[in-house]
């Protein structure tokens, strides 16, 4: 790895230089490094051969960050009253495996005796400086190191603590809380879809957003330390807590909403969304590494539940995390082998109760995982960048099954769900129209259902794609209206044909008069905007009667049929057609 010539060059310099592999073993050390640690035979050995267990733990924690791709500059204790300022950078070996290159930038030995402090510094010129000059040099060196350490532990983009600085703060916080017998909160906070902000507005605006979020976090009451520990991830350490569990979770959720309110860049408003994973010392974890791990699990659970929320850690999170890992492991193969299948739920006319269309949903049953819920595998596909593959697979299979129903006139349209990521992706409309053409279905037989979150993420990109689709005859439906943002402005700005009332409202119309009044108002709003209203989640005859009485022209739900396989849907449509024929004959006979 190191040629003899280059080794001789490194041996000639006064700075200690070393190289480690990913197992923390030294594969090279120059003469100055071997002299510094007092050992010539280092190749193939690791820090445990020289240093005590506590110091090895510190070294390896720092090494792990470097092996993961980060640079570090840390003050390290390498012996009794001996300190080294060490720069470490990632290094890749010829076989592609990771390693690190370390350079000891400075070294100080502090000798305390008889209450006086003396110091000696390595001096490679062979001259011993006067004691007063040496003491001055020590003071300067310590001051320089303090400045260097501050820089090394500060995030350049936001001015907050970086990952190393935050870890230092967290270690101290744990020790203080343990000594005082107190509790404190720790949270990981993540910007949702931050890449889209960078892609749309540019990295300078993205950096500005990071500064804004960091500043808002740091200004919250009861916060001791805030750090940016990754690209769009922040960590928060609180002061002592008087409230635990749900009370603290509720308070942090209010904080999250304050932090992720919209911001501006010039004359543009940028909508922000973020998730938080929360844990409490010592209830959930008692060490810094456990706090980081538990908060990360809670953050994962929050994102799995739909993002834009705060999630407390609990033991169920561990099981969900393990299941998510299994899903992520199996999902690519499931997509490749087309194991995810479409199912169909009929949409009926409120007046005749006859089918007018179907909504396509998806199902996945795995021999090891059992039934995998759509929210589980859709969330995994989104995070893995596979949601486009999932949507294409389901569309292709569903369109082939539904084509005979369209051609026979049994239904008039097939409704597909689009992911928020797709709707705001440039060129999505062109790609989707190409898929429609390949299916043999006319664009007018396709309805695309979008979520309100699609419109919040990037209004202009969504509008461009939806306009293009609508120009070709594709119908656009806004799904789950009445939950989430319920953005009235979007109804005016977006090219929409349908508005689907969320099932949570439909389920409440028999229980609360206010809910029924709200549904009636939504139907009237849709009529005023020339939008066709569809009620989701109709499960009882009385709900269907209420919906029909409210003037909503279309509905769907388990009262009519659960989501059915293609074969079962074909049979259901034939039965529905037979009932219509029988009713017609009965009317003629009368």
pLDDT single digits (tens) 310-359: 889 987 777 877 888 899 999 999 999 999 999 999 999 999 999 999 99
Question: Does 93 have pLDDT greater than 80?
Answer: yes
Question: Please, which pLDDT band fits residue 7 given cuts at 50, 70 and 90?
Answer: confident
Segments making up each domain of the chain, as ranges: 4-152, 163-313, 340-587
Assess whether pLDDT exceeds 50 at residue 122: no
**Which pLDDT does position 127 carry in this prediction?**
30
Closest to 333 (Cα-Cα) out of 306, 361, 302, 372: 372
Indicate if the pLDDT at residue 144 is higher than 60.
no
- Residues 6 or more apart in contact with residue 353 via CB below 8 angstroms: 544, 560
Residue 72: pLDDT band (50, 70, 90) is confident
Share of the chain above pLDDT 70, in %: 86
Look at 144-158, 174-188, 236-250 and tell me which has the smallest mean pLDDT: 144-158
- 91 vs 353 pLDDT, higher one: 353
Query: What pLDDT is attached to residue 169?
Result: 93
Task: Kindly state the average pLDDT of the residues 385-408.
Answer: 96
CATH superfamily ID and name for 163-313: Reverse transcriptase/Diguanylate cyclase domain (3.30.70.270)
Look at residue 582 in the predicted model and tell me its pLDDT.
Answer: 56
User: Mean pLDDT: which of 55-64, 188-197, 257-266, 435-444 is highest?
Assistant: 435-444
Mean pLDDT of the chain: 85
429-447: pLDDT as tens digits? 999 999 999 999 999 999 9
Query: In the CATH scheme, what is the homologous superfamily, with its name and number, of domain 4-152?
Result: PAS domain (3.30.450.20)
More confident: 590 or 351: 351
Q: Which pLDDT score, from 0 to 100, does residue 588 have?
A: 45
Q: Using a pLDDT cut of 90, give the percent of the chain over it.
A: 50
The model's confidence at residue 114, banded by pLDDT at 50, 70 and 90, is very low
Q: Is the pLDDT of residue 146 over 70?
A: no
pLDDT tens-digit readout, 480-493: 887 655 567 667 87
What sign results for the dihedral spanned by CA atoms 7, 12, 13, 14? Answer: positive
Q: Contact 536/557 with Cβ under 8 angstroms?
A: yes
Q: Which two tokens stand for residue 540?
A: 């009882």
Q: What is d(CA 128, CA 50) in angstroms, rounded to the nearest whole number?
A: 29
Top CATH class of 340-587 equals alpha beta
pLDDT bin (cut points 50, 70, 90) of residue 129 is very low
Among 66-80, 288-302, 443-457, the range with the most confident prediction by mean pLDDT is 288-302
pLDDT for the residue numbered 457: 56
- Angle among Cα 412, 415, 421 to the nearest 5 degrees reads 155
Q: What is the pLDDT of residues 233-263, one digit of tens each?
A: 999 999 999 877 778 888 888 999 999 999 9
| Burial letters 353-368, b for 16+ CB under 10 A, else e | ebbbbbbbbbbbebee
pLDDT of residue 143: 56
């Amino acid at each position: 790895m190191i040629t003899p010539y280059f080794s001789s060059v490194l041996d000639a310099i006064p700075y200690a230089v070393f190289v480690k592999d990913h197992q923390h073993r030294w594969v090279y050390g120059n003469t100055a490094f071997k002299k510094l640690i007092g050992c010539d035979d280092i190749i193939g050995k690791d820090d445990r051969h020289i240093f005590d267990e506590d110091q090895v733990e510190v070294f390896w924690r720092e090494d792990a960050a470097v092996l993961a791709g980060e640079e570090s500059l840390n003050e390290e204790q390498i012996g009794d009253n001996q300190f080294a300022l060490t720069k470490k950078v990632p290094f890749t070996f010829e076989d592609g495996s990771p390693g690190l290159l370390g350079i000891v930038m400075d070294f100080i030995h502090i000798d305390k005796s008889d209450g006086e402090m003396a110091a000696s510094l390595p001096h490679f010129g062979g001259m011993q400086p006067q004691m007063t000059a040496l003491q001055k040099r020590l003071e300067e060196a310590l001051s320089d190191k303090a400045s260097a350490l501050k820089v090394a532990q500060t995030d350049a983009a936001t001015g907050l603590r970086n990952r190393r600085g935050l870890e230092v703060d967290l270690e101290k916080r744990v020790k203080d809380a343990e000594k005082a017998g107190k509790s404190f909160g720790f949270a990981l906070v993540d910007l949702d879809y931050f890449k889209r902000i960078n892609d749309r507005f540019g990295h300078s605006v993205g950096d500005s957003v990071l500064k804004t979020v960091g500043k808002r976090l740091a200004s919250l009451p009861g916060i001791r330390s805030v750090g940016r520990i990754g690209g769009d991830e922040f960590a928060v350490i609180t002061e002592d807590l008087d409230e635990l569990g749900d009370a603290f979770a509720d308070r942090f959720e209010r904080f999250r909403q304050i932090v992720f309110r919209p911001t501006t860049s010039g004359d543009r408003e940028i909508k922000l969304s973020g998730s938080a994973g929360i844990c409490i010392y010592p209830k959930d974890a008692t060490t810094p590494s456990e706090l980081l791990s538990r908060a990360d699990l809670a953050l994962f659970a929050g994102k799995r539940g739909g993002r834009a929320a705060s999630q407390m850690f609990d033991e169920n999170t561990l099981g969900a995390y393990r299941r998510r890992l299994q899903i992520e492991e199996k999902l690519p193969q499931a997509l490749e082998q087309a194991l995810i299948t479409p199912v169909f739920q009929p949409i009926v006319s409120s007046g005749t109760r006859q089918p007018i269309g179907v909504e396509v949903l998806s199902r996945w049953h795995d021999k090891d995982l059992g039934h995998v819920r759509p929210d589980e595998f859709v969330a995994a596909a989104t995070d893995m960048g596979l949601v486009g593959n999932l949507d294409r697979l389901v569309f292709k299979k569903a369109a082939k099954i539904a084509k005979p129903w369209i051609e026979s006139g049994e239904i008039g349209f097939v409704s597909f769900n689009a992911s928020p990521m797709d709707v705001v992706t440039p060129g999505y409309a062109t790609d989707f129209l190409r898929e429609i053409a390949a299916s043999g279905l006319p664009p007018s037989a396709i309805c695309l259902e979008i979520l309100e979150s699609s419109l919040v993420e990037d209004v202009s990109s969504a509008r461009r794609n939806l306009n293009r689709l609508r120009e070709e005859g594709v119908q656009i439906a806004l799904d789950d209206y009445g939950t989430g943002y319920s953005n009235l402005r979007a109804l005016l700005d977006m090219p929409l044909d349908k508005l689907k009332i969320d099932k949570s409202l439909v389920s409440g119309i028999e229980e609360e008069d206010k809910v029924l009044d709200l549904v009636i108002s939504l139907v009237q709003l849709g009529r005023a905007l020339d939008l066709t209203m569809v009620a989701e989640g109709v499960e009882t005859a009385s709900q269907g009667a209420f919906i029909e009485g409210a003037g909503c022209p279309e509905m769907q739900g388990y009262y009519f049929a659960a989501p059915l396989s293609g074969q079962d849907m074909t049979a259901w449509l034939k039965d529905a057609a037979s009932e219509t024929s029988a009713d017609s004959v009965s009317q003629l006979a009368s």
